[in-house]
Amino acid sequence: MDHFKNIYNNMAVEYHRMIEYEDVDGNLHNTIVQLLPSDVTSVLDIGSGTGRIPLLLSDTKLNVIGLDLYWVMLQENSRQRSLSTGSWLLAQGDAGVLPMLSDGFDVVTAGWVLGHTCSWHLDWQTKLDVVLNEMHRVVRNQGVIIIMETLTTGSDIPTPPTAELADYYEWLENSRGFSRKEIRTDYRFPNVKEAINNTEFFFGEQLSSMIVENNWSRLPECTGVWSKIV
């Protein structure tokens, strides 16, 4: 099984524990809020995972639906919703065939999910065209689509970590009309040991070696936020 599919199928608790240390400066929250339309009331979060985006928006009165393909991730999402006394809804489904009515949302988000298509499918452009067309279908006129993807973990320089992701990001901007903003979403752990314990299962031993070499309890990370008014 693919490394990331294994995590999403079997390690939702560990995954959420890792991202709880992420975005220590709150840049992701601030960026998303700035991109929301002034009259926003509804958000669909595609690839919602364990609830990162719904949790970021939990201080608002927005109606949020989190959708994910992986049942184990949704279970942890539900647990986090209970712990935070949140009220967002959850649904299991495929981003390529969204079980939603057309023009039903003011905002559609997709965080760290679409980029996997580049490594899972040779015809990634065709697959992502289907997903983006679905995202356009369910968002209202003058609504906003927001896509978040990695621009490297373990570096101060925002760079696509693979050639495939570089092609995907260029395609988003040049073929699909998205604008990119680069932000820092650093992790901050109590110490180096905790940094390794909470990231190695996801990023591998190479990053662990970098953490030790640089004595990082604060792990640098850069994230790209692509947005488009439709």
* pLDDT for res 86: 93
What is the average per-residue pLDDT within 44-60? 95
What's the Rg (C-alpha) of the chain? Answer: 17
N- to C-terminal Cα separation, the chain: 36
Under the banding of pLDDT at 50, 70 and 90, the label for residue 61 is confident
CATH number 3.40.50.800 given to 3-192+220-229? no
Kindly tell me if the per-residue pLDDT of 1 is higher than 90: no
* 87 CB neighbour count, 10 Å cutoff: 11
Contacts of 157 (CB under 8 A, 6+ apart): 222
Under the banding of pLDDT at 50, 70 and 90, the label for residue 122 is confident
pLDDT digits (tens, 9 = 90+) for 209-224: 999 999 999 999 999 9
Under the banding of pLDDT at 50, 70 and 90, the label for residue 16 is very high
Under the banding of pLDDT at 50, 70 and 90, the label for residue 121 is confident
Q: Which residues of 160-188 are buried (b: 16+ CB within 10 A; e: fewer)?
A: bbeeebeebbebbeeebebebeebbbbbe
Any idea where the domains of the chain sit in the sequence?
3-192+220-229
Kindly tell me if the per-residue pLDDT of 135 is higher than 90: yes
| Whether the model pTM is above 0.85 | yes
Contacts of 178 (CB under 8 A, 6+ apart): 145, 147, 172, 226, 227, 228
What is the average per-residue pLDDT within 193-212? 97
* pLDDT for res 114: 96
